[in-house]
Structure 1
Amino acid sequence: MKKLAVISADVIDSSKFEENAFLGTLQFLEEPSNNYLVNRGESILTSRGDSFQIMIQDVEKAFLKAIYLKSYFKKSEIVLKHQQIKRKLDLRISLAVGNAETIPDEIGKTLEEPFVLSGRALDQMKQKKQTFIITTTNAEYNKELDLSCSFLENILDGWTMAQAEVIYYLVQGFKQSEIAEKLNLTQPSVSNRIQLAHWGLIEKMDHRYKDIVSKL
């Protein structure tokens, strides 16, 4: 048995944007040289232009990869369908950790446990009005994670584009001075955005997530 993490995600209110609005976004995410999200040998499935699923074999990194996805989308905005105004993008994310007997070659054609858990939770999120959820095979841990994710949602939903842009680089390991240079900002400005984005609390949740998955 192999422990796997699976992220299932879809763009919130995607019907309000043009059909091909997300093609460039998904092409970027599928290219390992562009980012730290997808490693060589890990596949990404795009069922439509507005939804996708990712298999992550290094389960301890899965939470921060989900945060990376949130920041990548929330730092962007695109034109609404048939309108001249832009709207900030956002993503609904379901992260699940479970055991798989085999590593699937085509993740769209598998019923291994973590894929089912992740997909099923994503289907339920619209009804529950959730935007971020973590599911495991342990019911008690799931109760804790459900509560933690409710608080986390308030943080992530409150991000401005400027804050998401800084977190996008920070989660990849860039130093504040490097982020400041990339964004043509002062280092105090970068530090302020990091604090306003509540990065310290996100790090604490990452530590707890790692603790939980190590015990599964």
Structure 2
Amino acid sequence: MVAVLTADLVDSSLYKEEILEKVLNSLKEEFKTITLEYGEQNIRFKIYRGDSFQGVVHQPEEALKIVIQIKAAINRIHLKETRKNKAYSKIADFKIAIGIGMQELEREAIEESNGQAFQFSGRTLDEMKTENRKTRLKTIDENINQEFNTAFLLLDTITDKWSTASAEVVYYLLRGLKEREVAEILEVSQSAINQRKKAAGWEAVSGLLQRYHQVIKTHFNGS
């Protein structure tokens, strides 16, 4: 079993060239960071057209964390020539579909690979193009789909309200840093980090990640 992530940049045709360039560079750097964390044998990414990407994750229970980490990395982007820890409105976001299933054909090039997980992910993203949704899950188990797509609707509501500062705090928390360490990086007080953490809905996001990890690992690991 694998998880396939298929994603499109929201309203990419409306972005200025400098924004697209910064998003693409940030995405490439984040893929390097994630690959280093999980290992090249467990995860692969491919960027298409500069506004889409696909990833194959051999640990499906980690897929949601990876999705939110990518979103936070992109959501924290801004072009202001001021201190980076100030809050601004987001300028970029992705729609991301997670498909979990078999990978019947694995090739060195992701675009030449195929299987159930690829079909689930690709078709789900196509369906999302007519919906006001940013994250969806498709597996063979409809009970799991219903549980998490309801939860993902609430997740979308939370992440849509993130400022660049909120996204940045979430990003570092997902990387395993403590509040004090994030405060040192961003050069703000720990209480400011705690406030941004609450504003970002971190407790709800963290709880969803734990539930997702538990359910997906129980149902799909080793299948």
Same topology, TM > 0.5: yes
Secondary structure of the residue aligned to 2:177 is coil
Runs (4+) of structure 1 exceeding 4 A deviation are 31-34
Q: Name which of structure 1's ranges 118-127 and 29-38 shifts more when overlaid on structure 2.
A: 29-38
> How many Å separate the matches in 2 of 1:139 and 1:169?
33
Secondary structure of the residue aligned to 1:35 is helix
Cα distance 1:87–1:201, how it changes in 2: closer, same or farther (>3 A)? closer
Deviation at 1:65, TM superposition (A): 0.7
Name the % identity.
29
Q: Does 1:120 align with 2:152?
A: no
- Report 1:1-216 matches (<5 A): 3-19=1-17, 21-31=19-29, 34-36=32-34, 39-41=39-41, 42-77=43-78, 88-214=91-217, 215-216=219-220
Residue-by-residue CA offset, 1:158-188 (whole Å, 9 max, x unaligned): 1111100111111011111111111111011
TM-score, normalisation: structure 1 = 0.87
TM-score, normalisation: structure 2 = 0.84
Equivalent residue number for residue 82 of structure 1: none
> How many Å separate the matches in 1 of 2:156 and 2:90?
19
> How many Å separate the matches in 1 of 2:113 and 2:90?
35
Deviation at 1:103, TM superposition (A): 3.6
> How many Å separate the matches in 2 of 1:145 and 1:37?
25
Aligned CA RMSD, in angstroms, stands at: 2.2
Deviation at 1:77, TM superposition (A): 3.1
CA contact (8 A) 1:78 1:89 kept: no
Q: Name which of structure 1's ranges 18-27 and 106-115 shifts more when overlaid on structure 2.
A: 18-27
Deviation at 1:9, TM superposition (A): 1.1
Equivalent residue number for residue 84 of structure 2: none
CA contact (8 A) 2:106 2:113 kept: no
Name structure 1 gaps, 5 residues minimum. 80-85
Secondary structure of the residue aligned to 1:96 is strand
Name structure 2 gaps, 5 residues minimum. 81-88
Deviation at 1:33, TM superposition (A): 8.5
Larger strand percent: 1
> How many Å separate the matches in 2 of 1:20 and 1:119?
28
Cα distance 1:34–1:55, how it changes in 2: closer, same or farther (>3 A)? closer
Cα distance 1:179–1:60, how it changes in 2: closer, same or farther (>3 A)? same
